[in-house]
Amino acid sequence: MRVYNFSAGPSMIPDEVMQIAQAEFCDFQNCGSGVMEISHRGALFSNVIKRAEANVRELMHIGDEYAICFVAGGAWMQFGMIPMNLLNGGSADYADTGTWSASAIKEAGRYGTVNVIASSKETKYDRIPNIRHWKPTSGAKYLHITSNNTVYGTQYHELPPAIDGIPMIADMSSDIMSRVVNVNDFGLIYAGLQKNLGPSGMAMVIIRKDLVKDDELPKWVPSMLRYKNYIEKDNMFNTPPTFAVYMLSLVTDWLKRQGGLKVVEDINNAKSEAIYETLNRSDFYTSPVQPDSRSKMNVVFRMPNETLEAKFVKEAEAAGMTGLKGHRSVGGIRASIYNAVPLAGVEKLVDFMNEFERKNR
């Protein structure tokens, strides 16, 4: 039985990609060594990392004014690395829309002043705060947003307006390459790989080169936490996370074969609409998220009681659908429908939801 993994991360990787990785794991391109064994400075891996970067640039239409860095440590590392490199004792604006933005705010507070200029905490993060009410801080070094909130199931469908001299930074860990975005709207985009782009353990950072001012950084910032070193050494300042980079190259190859991000976005819209239509016409399932803020990556919902929710998770798993339990901090059900989750998997989930409601009303 084909199991569909609806986990928030690590999450599904496309079948085609897994099959290619399996075939090359022990003998990469007939070199006699596995992909995890080859030298990071050899020609074989050099081609892999160059292809990964070229694919990202092509898919997201990224110009030469931006650098792409492959940094170990995942998105959480970036919560600290960004203010280390860009804040330098100044102030920055943050929007608080959930668990991970709150964590980013806490980390940034170690390196300067954090201004929380928008928050939906008082309404249990059930929405993206109305952008009209945001009050940017004069002289802020940057504005930080979390484009999609995995725990609470919210997503930005409209970006804050650009402000001269204040670059926008986005944590796109859970919706990177799920839709078309204009990279030029941002000074920096970062994302952990483990939701849409590959395995856990690495973040991809897209940064506008003019923001990298290494000579202004405090001496205590470690070499491995300076963007300049990744850029100047073409991500080879030390041994990069070679397997994660390899998997990123395969996933982005796959995205290109799908037809690019506009095609992927249309598929993701169809997937999320199928579940939300089911929620909207039901009085058994309820969504805690305001309609205009609902995520197309992480669909969260509740049932009349927690006993039914536990039963739903258990029976769904027996039917070949795993990872549906909501985050431990909020409970409920969460269906994470990242790029690799096929429409067939979503249709199976919707059918299961309808049948479960019929049996348990």
Domain CATH code at residue 266: 3.90.1150.10
195 belongs to the catalytic site: yes
Q: What pLDDT is stored for residue 35 in this prediction? A: 87
- Identify the active-site residue in 93, 96, 141, 195: 195
Assess whether 27 and 148 both reside in one domain: yes
Assess whether 155 and 193 both reside in one domain: yes
Assess whether 63 and 167 both reside in one domain: yes
* Any domain includes 4: no
Assess whether 271 and 199 both reside in one domain: no
Assess whether 183 and 251 both reside in one domain: yes
pLDDT < 70 positions in the chain: none
Assess whether 48 and 64 both reside in one domain: yes
* Any domain includes 319: yes
Looking at 258, 286, 306, the residue that finishes a domain is 258
Q: What pLDDT is stored for residue 69 in this prediction? A: 98
Q: What pLDDT is stored for residue 105 in this prediction? A: 98
Q: What pLDDT is stored for residue 161 in this prediction? A: 86
Looking at 212, 241, 258, the residue that finishes a domain is 258
Give the Å distances, CA to CA, from 96 to 57, 78, 243, 354.
Answer: 29, 16, 33, 35
Assess whether 230 and 279 both reside in one domain: no
Counted domains in the chain: 2
- Identify the active-site residue in 93, 96, 100, 325: 100
100 belongs to the catalytic site: yes
* Any domain includes 10: no
Assess whether 238 and 300 both reside in one domain: no
* Any domain includes 131: yes
Assess whether 234 and 332 both reside in one domain: no
Q: What pLDDT is stored for residue 10 in this prediction? A: 95
Amino acid symbol at 9: G
Q: What pLDDT is stored for residue 283 in this prediction? A: 93
Q: What pLDDT is stored for residue 155 in this prediction? A: 98
Assess whether 217 and 254 both reside in one domain: yes
- CATH number of the CATH domain containing 118: 3.40.640.10
User: Which residue is associated with the tokens 């092509």?
Assistant: 58
Q: What pLDDT is stored for residue 296 in this prediction? A: 98
Q: Judge whether 228 and 214 are in contact, CB under 8 Å.
A: yes
- Identify the active-site residue in 93, 96, 171, 175: 171
- Determine the structural domain holding residue 303 and report its residue range: 260-360
Looking at 258, 291, 312, the residue that finishes a domain is 258
Sign of the Cα torsion 91, 95, 96, 101 reads negative
* Any domain includes 2: no
* Any domain includes 22: yes
Residue 109: phi and psi, rounded to 5, are -65, -15
pTM to 2 decimal places: 0.96
Assess whether 203 and 254 both reside in one domain: yes
Q: What pLDDT is stored for residue 337 in this prediction? A: 98
Q: Are strands 91-96 and 143-146 parallel, antiparallel or unpaired?
A: parallel
Q: What pLDDT is stored for residue 185 in this prediction? A: 96
Assess whether 253 and 264 both reside in one domain: no
Q: What pLDDT is stored for residue 157 in this prediction? A: 97
Q: What pLDDT is stored for residue 173 in this prediction? A: 97
* Any domain includes 212: yes
Q: What is the C-alpha to C-alpha distance for residues 183 and 199, in angstroms, rounded to an integer?
A: 23
171 belongs to the catalytic site: yes
Would you give the end-to-end CA distance of the chain in angstroms?
Answer: 28
Amino acid symbol at 10: P
Q: Which of 188, 150, 171 is nearest to 330 (CA)?
A: 150
* Any domain includes 174: yes
